[in-house]
Structure 1
Amino acid sequence: MVVVGGGAAGLSGALALGRARRRVLVVDAGDPRNAAAGHVHNYLGREGTPPAELLEIGRAEVAAYGVEVRPGRVTTATPTGAGFELTLDDGSAVGARRLLVTTGLTDVLPEIAGLAERFGNDVLHCPYCHGWEVRDRAIGIIASNAFALHGAGLWRQWSDDVTLFLNDRLELSAEDAERLAARGVTVVAGAVAEVVVEDDRLVGLRLGSGEVVPREAVVAAPQFVANSDLLTSLGLEPVAFEMNGVVFGYAVPSDANGATTVPGVWLAGNVTDLRAQVISAAAGGLNAGAMINMDLIEEETAAAVATYRKVSA
C-alpha cells in the first residue's frame, strides 16, 4: 500500500492503515501547501501548532505502527494485474496494491507585485485560518471576481476597518454598494499594482495611479489548482469547482469515501476537496484509509473463499 503525499491527509490515512496491520509506504515530496504559515488553526487539540511540528508528530505516530515515510516524488504510476507499479524521482520503483493520493493543491495568486512573497504571512485568503490573528487591524480585500463581495462581508466579522479594492475586476450594483456601506466597508476603485512593504512589514497597497492606501493585512483569493499530474496519467482529470457561479479552482472528483472511478485509487485532502482545512484533510485521510482496508479485506476474502472451495471440493 502506497500513500502519495505526506501531509495531514496522507499521514492520517497511513496511520489508519498502519493500525490495521497493513504494510504502508508514504512517499512525500516535502513541499506542504501551508509551509509559509506560522501555525495551524481550528485543529482541536493541536490549535496553534506550527505546520512542520504537526507533520513531525504525525511521522513519529505512523512510524510507531511500522509505516515507512520516504522523501521523494512519484513520477509515474502504471496499473498492473496486482495493483500499480510506481516510479520515484530517484529512479527507484515500488509496487502497491492500492494507492491513496494526497498531493494537495497549488494556490495560484493574482499577478500583483509583492503579493506571492507575503502569502501566508500578512497576505491571507481564509478568515477561519487567519482572521483572529489580524482582528481589529486595517484589512484590504483585493477583488479577483464577484465573490469578493462575500469576502468583504465575511472579513468584516474580524475588523471594523475593511476596504474592498475593486481592482478593475468587479462592478458594484446599487444594492451591492448599499450593503457594503451599511456594514462600513470602504470601496476603492482602480487596479492594485503592488503590495508595499517597509522593514519587512506590509504597510499598504499601491494603486495603478501611484496612490498608496494604508493596510496592515491583505486578502487575496487564489485559484486553487489540484496537483493532479500523477492522477491525470491514470485517467483522472480535474474538474472545475464552483461556488455561486464563480470558479474557485480545479479538483479531481472522488466519492464520499475518497474512491475514484479508477479501481484501486483513492484520494484525500485538497487534491479532491479544495475547501479542506488541515483537520478536515486529516479526517478525509482517515476515512479513505479505512475504506481502502475494507476493500483489501474484500479482495482477500474472495481469494480465501476460492482457495477454500478448492480444498473442500
Structure 2
Amino acid sequence: MNADVNADVVVLGGGAAGLAGAVALARSLRDVVVVDAGEPRNAPAGHAHNVLGREGIDPLDLLAAGREEARGYGARILADRAVTARRDGSGFVLELLSGRVVRARRVLLATGLVDELPDVPGLRQFWGGSVLHCPFCHGYEVRGQRIGVLGSRPTALHQALMFRRLSPDVTLFVQDLDVPDETARQFRALGVTVREGTVRRVGGTPGDLVVDLDGEDVGVQALVVTPYYRARADLFRQLGGQLATNERGEFVPTGPGGATDVPGVWAAGNVADLSAMVAGSAGAGVLAGAAIHGDLIAEDARALVAAHPW
C-alpha cells in the first residue's frame, strides 16, 4: 500500500492553470501536490499562441517547463489520476488511481474540459490542425485560406464573422440552424457564402479537406467547428458542487479569485472559464493560488488566537 501524501494544497490538473497555481503557492512556501493524469486539452495542437514571450511554443514543451518550475520551488507532481474526493473535517481526502491517498487542507481544481465535437465522421481525425474552433488560437495560421464553418450551433454565426476577418473565402454550412435576417444581411455584405444542408462526413488530407454536403464534395483548407464544452468536474460533484451551464457548455461557477460554492475548493482555467486560452488560464491559476494562500493564512491566524493563553 502506498503511503499517504499530505499537503497544504492539492492541485488537480497539471495544465497551465494548475501549474501556475502550484508555482504561486510553492513560492509562498506552501506544501503543494499536483495530481496530473497527463491529458492536456491542447495536446493535439502543435503550437500554443498568445503566450507572451513563448509565442508558438509546443504545448507539451510549455507544460514540461512549467513542471520543472513548480518542482524547483518544492511542489510535488504525481503522474496519477484522482478518482474519489471527500471532505474530512476542514480538509479533504482524495484517492488516486494508483491507490495512493492525498490529504490536503485545500483543493485547486484545474482539470480543464473536454471538447465534444459535432457528430460528424472524420472531424476528430483532423482536430487540432485543419479542424479548429478558436480564431485567436489558430486563426492566423489559416489566414487567407478557404475556410468552412460548420453551422451546427448558434455560436457558428459569430465564428463565421470572426474568420471572415482572416480570409475573403468563408463558407458557412448551415445545419439545423436559423440565421437571423440581420445576420444574413451581414453575411451578404461581407461575402460569406451560406450553404444549407447536412454535413455527412469530412475527409481528405490535412490542409485539403473534403466536406460531404448531402453527397456533394466541397473543398476547404480549414474547417471551423463549435464543440460543446464539458468540464471535467466529477470530483467537484463528489464534493457537493453543482455545475452551471450556458449555450456553449457546462462549467464550475466561481467567484473572486476562483472560489467555488464548496468551502475550501477553488477552480481555475477551462474548468471554470470556457473561453480561457493558455495565458488566461495561467493567470487564473496564479490568482487562485494567491487566494488559497490568503485563506490558509487567515485560518492559521484564527487558530493561533484561539489557542493563545490570554
Normalised by the length of structure 1, the TM-score is: 0.94
Conserved 8 A contact 2:155-2:226: no
Q: CA separation in 1, counterparts of 2:178 and 2:291?
A: 47
- Structure 2 partner of 1:289: 289
- Structure 2 partner of 1:218: 223
Residue 49 of structure 2 is aligned to residue 49 of structure 1: no
- Structure 2 partner of 1:236: 241
Q: CA separation in 2, counterparts of 1:240 and 1:114?
A: 28
Conserved 8 A contact 1:77-1:233: yes
- Structure 1 partner of 2:25: 17
Q: Deviations over 1:185-208 (max 9, x none)?
A: 11111111111214x553221112
Alignment CA distance shift 1:185-1:106 (3 Å): same
What is the CA-CA distance between 1:172 and the residue it aligns to?
3.1
Residue 203 (structure 1) aligned to one of 179, 186, 209 = 209
- Structure 2 partner of 1:77: 85
RMSD: 1.1
Residue 15 (structure 2) aligned to one of 7, 27, 30 = 7
Q: Deviations over 1:98-117 (max 9, x none)?
A: 00010100001101110011
Q: CA separation in 1, counterparts of 2:85 and 2:20?
A: 22
Amino acid corresponding to residue 172 of structure 1 in structure 2: V
Superposed, 1:1-313 pairs within 5 Å as 1-167=9-175, 169-198=176-205, 200-208=206-214, 210-241=215-246, 247-308=247-308, 310=309, 312=310
What is the CA-CA distance between 1:77 and the residue it aligns to?
1.1
Tell which deviates more after alignment, 188-197 or 174-183: 174-183
How many residues get paired? 302
> Secondary structure, in 3 states, of the residue corresponding to 1:35?
coil
> Secondary structure, in 3 states, of the residue corresponding to 1:236?
coil
Stretches of structure 2 that go unaligned for 5 or more consecutive residues are: 1-8
> Secondary structure, in 3 states, of the residue corresponding to 1:40?
coil
Stretches of structure 1 that go unaligned for 5 or more consecutive residues are: 242-246
Conserved 8 A contact 1:195-1:202: no
- Structure 1 partner of 2:3: none
Q: CA separation in 2, counterparts of 1:77 and 1:196?
A: 42
> Secondary structure, in 3 states, of the residue corresponding to 1:142?
strand
Amino acid corresponding to residue 35 of structure 2 in structure 1: V
Q: CA separation in 2, counterparts of 1:57 and 1:173?
A: 47
Amino acid corresponding to residue 280 of structure 2 in structure 1: S
Amino acid corresponding to residue 184 of structure 1 in structure 2: G
Amino acid corresponding to residue 185 of structure 2 in structure 1: E
Q: Deviations over 1:212-259 (max 9, x none)?
A: 111000000001010110101111121112xxxxx0000011102111
> Secondary structure, in 3 states, of the residue corresponding to 2:43?
helix
Q: CA separation in 2, counterparts of 1:215 and 1:259?
A: 43
Q: CA separation in 2, counterparts of 1:179 and 1:31?
A: 40
What is the CA-CA distance between 1:267 and the residue it aligns to?
0.5
